[in-house]
Structure 1
Amino acid sequence: MPEPASDPATTYSYLGPAGTFTEAALKQVPEAQGKTWRSVNNVGEALADVVAERSVAAMIAIENSIDGGVSATQDALANVPGLRILGEYLVPVDFVLVARPGTTLDDVRVVNAHPVAYAQTRLWLERARPDHEHLPATSNVAAAVALLPAVDDAGPGSVGPLADAAVAPPGITDHYPLEVLARSIGDNPNAVTRFVLVGRTGAVPPATGSDKTSIIAELPDDRAGGLLDMLEQFATRGINMSLLQSRPIGDALGRYRFVIDLDGHILDERVADALLGLKRFSPNVKFLGSYPRADREQVTVVPRYDNTAFVEARDWLRALVAGEPGD
């Protein structure tokens, strides 16, 4: 008999299969524990699950400390309506070299690896196996699964037994019968990937004092100083940007949208005031959400930009309009 359909209200989508860094990020979500986790193949499928209400939320990678923003995610968030970022999660990016049982490091000539993973482990591989060859894989897990011909879920582009070893995420041996030949082979020990949990549009959660706000904005025209004018909306209100990345809109050369992360919450007076100014300036502003920071660090603001300063300034203006001295 076919398995009963999962309850969309308790289903979370993530880029699978089991053992990926995305799954590691989803493990950090308390609300997702004990619920149904739906493995998907790409960002588009994950967000489509949310829009179609097959899932309550989807975990997707949005930024890497080595490679920068994940363009597929940023473009999808810009183009798919009705989505909100619910939270962010950080996963240290480390890799292991795995092989079939009985293989030694000296046996390794061909290494299967996703191109991004290979770029982050290439120096180690060149030191350990100077004569190795690289065969690209479609994902980090697929690289490892491809070493096992009997496993049929490696996906398109897998190279099977042509590879002697694979670059894979730690913990891959919890899911597949492989042996670890070397651990911590990443060239940058500080590499981190930032993931976001994306759900459908809903009420904004309360501010915590340790928040981030994500938006996407377009410039009104292509002219000298246009980007500076946009950024001044934040600078003049004391708002720090933790991410600013351009992505082509796609309708003409030279047309870009900007993915921006702001320190603060939309309910913070300075952030709300900046978004009002940005909306007057930009032909298209997309609010992606305000949510707690992954590091839980409190956002510090100088007194002239805190909530009290904005409230007092508005009260002063109201007093002037009402005919009071306003001293």
Structure 2
Amino acid sequence: MSARYAYLGPAGTFTEAALRQVAAPDEATYLPQVDVVAAIEAVRTGSADYAVVAIENSVEGGVTAVLDALAVGDPLVVLREMLVPVTFTLAARPGTALADVRRISAHPHAWAQCRHWLADHLPGVVHVPATSNTAPAALLAGERTDLGFDAALVPPPAVQHYGLAVVAEHVSDNESAVTRFVLVGRPGRLPEPTGADKTTLVVHLPSNQAGALLEMLEQFSTRGVNLSRIESRPIGDSLGRYSFSIDAEGHLADERMAEALMGLHRVCPHVRFLGSYPRVDAPYGDVRPGTSDADFRDARAWVTALREASAT
């Protein structure tokens, strides 16, 4: 039986493009979902083996729905990451001109990435939120006439897939935008370290006192672990209480990363490990002197020798 992958559908989304980097349609079962939380929950309930979800965009930052869904509930881990360039086309049913467009359906992230173009070319246009980047395209391809919108911001491949007409191309404010997607699965054997890896964590601060954030960050800095992403998210039980979603450079198998995690476990009330996996963007910088695996092993051997000598 082929592996089952839950992803944000319908067909033609950027998420499906990311999924195709993991497994081709003829070697896997694609399970389109109505939103990213449903995709993650499909893995938790066992109706899917894996989920592919967007976790970060180079323009809009972290995808909060994904960060929050991974921070609570039954533990899941990130197994790999994929990058997908993100651009948008304004599409509609054939015969629609730009001057005819009064209401546009778009996923909130798509709208945010096209807001300046829309303000310049369609001032006063109304945003009709969509659940995904291709959901409005699928509606436009149907027979309903009471959609409540005239056009949609969609990935360029969706125009031909759904038989739509191009109203305007290159409507993204940043044509170099990219979204990072992750493959999520149930805990098990981690991907082997490659020397260019990433570890994702959710960490609660040890207290709400001055210096608490510094105390948490020192667990990384003193071991020479660089952070490539850190975002605060409300815990939700009261105002002023936050957790931190973190991407740290390195693998659980690395001595410096293991030491940092032990430090976090000692000083922070809650640490959720969300996996170590190969990174696909630029490799991280040189290891700081004194923080290589050999340095940690030598230091541990030295302390062990001191203890043994004092015991005799």
What TM-score results when the alignment is normalised by the length of structure 1? Answer: 0.88
| Aligned equivalent of 2:293 | 307
SS, match of residue 240 in structure 2: coil
Deviation at 1:300, TM superposition (A): 2.6
Contact residue 218 and residue 284 of structure 1 kept, 8 A? yes
Instruction: Deviation per CA, 1:10-66: give whole Å up to 9, x if none.
Output: 111001000111111101114776211001112222122112222110001111122
Q: Distance in 1 between matches of 2:259 and 2:25?
A: 34
1:147 to 128, 140, 144: 140
Partner of 1:200: 186
Kept after mapping to 2: 8 A contact 1:216/1:260:
yes
User: Which residue of structure 2 aligns with residue 277 of structure 1?
Assistant: 263
Equivalent of 1:319, from 291, 305, 312?
A: 305
Deviates more, 1:27-36 or 1:287-296: 27-36
Change over 3 Å in CA distance of 1:257–1:134 after alignment to 2: closer
CA distance in 2: counterparts of 1:233 and 1:269, whole angstroms:
13
Q: Is 2:225 the partner of 1:239?
A: yes
User: 1:91 is paired with a residue of what secondary structure?
Assistant: strand
Q: CA distance change for structure 1 residues 41 and 110 in 2, over 3 Å: closer, same or farther?
A: closer
Equivalent-residue separation in structure 2 for 1:127 and 1:236 (angstroms):
49
Q: Which residue of 1 aligns with 2:200?
A: 214
RMSD: 2.1
Q: Relative to 1, partners in 2 of residues 1:52 and 1:130: Cα closer, same or farther, differing over 3 Å? A: closer
Matches within 5 A, 1:1-327: 7=1, 10-30=3-23, 34-130=27-123, 132-150=125-143, 160-295=146-281, 297=283, 300-323=286-309
The one-character-per-residue Cα deviations of 1:71-95 (angstroms, maximum 9, x if unpaired) are: 1111111112231111111111110
Could you tell me which amino acid in structure 2 is paired with residue 305 of structure 1?
Answer: T
TM-score relative to the length of structure 2: 0.92
SS of 1:305's equivalent in the other structure is coil
Corresponding letter in the other structure for 2:294: T
The whole-number CA distance in structure 1 between the counterparts of 2:207 and 2:262 is: 19
- Paired residue type of 2:269: P
Q: How many residue pairs are counted as aligned between the two chains? A: 310
| Deviation per residue, 1:181-216 (Å, 9 max, x gap) | 322210012222111110000012211001000011
Q: Which residue of 2 aligns with 1:154?
A: none
Gaps of 5+ in 2: none
Aligned partner of residue 6 in structure 2, secondary structure: strand
Q: Which residue identity lines up with residue 161 of structure 2 in the other structure?
A: H
Distance 1:116 1:204, change over 3 A: closer
- Aligned counterparts of 1:252 and 1:322: Cα–Cα separation in 2: 50
Q: Deviations over 1:101-151 (max 9, x none)?
A: 123334434333233312211221233334644433333212223334416
Partner AA of 2:81 in structure 1: E
Preserved CA contact (<8 Å) 2:199 2:274:
yes
Distance in 1 (alpha carbons) for counterparts of 2:126 and 2:235: 37
Moved more, 65-74 or 278-287: 65-74
Percentage of identical aligned residues: 51
Give the stretch that moved more between structures: 205-214 or 101-110: 101-110
Partner of 1:155: none
Moved more, 44-53 or 124-133: 124-133
Which deviations, in whole Å up to 9, do the C-alpha atoms of 1:243-284 show, x marking residues without a partner? 111111112222111111100001001000000011001111
Partner SS state of residue 97, structure 1: strand
Decide whether aligned partners of structure 1 residues 106 and 31 sit closer, same or farther in structure 2, where only a CA change above 3 A counts: closer
SS at match of 2:156: coil
**Structure 1's 214 and 99: CA in aligned 2 closer, same or farther, altered over 3 A?**
same
Q: Partners in 1 of 2:79 and 2:5 — Cα distance?
A: 13
The aligned amino acid for 1:34 is E
2-structure distance, mates of 1:222, 1:282: 11
CA distance in 2, matches of 1:291, 1:90: 14
> Within 2, Cα distance between the matches of 1:80 and 1:46?
14
Q: Is the 8 A contact 1:12 1:32 kept in 2?
A: no
Q: Please say if residues 96 and 169 of structure 1, whose CA atoms lie closer than 8 Å, have aligned partners that are also in contact.
A: yes
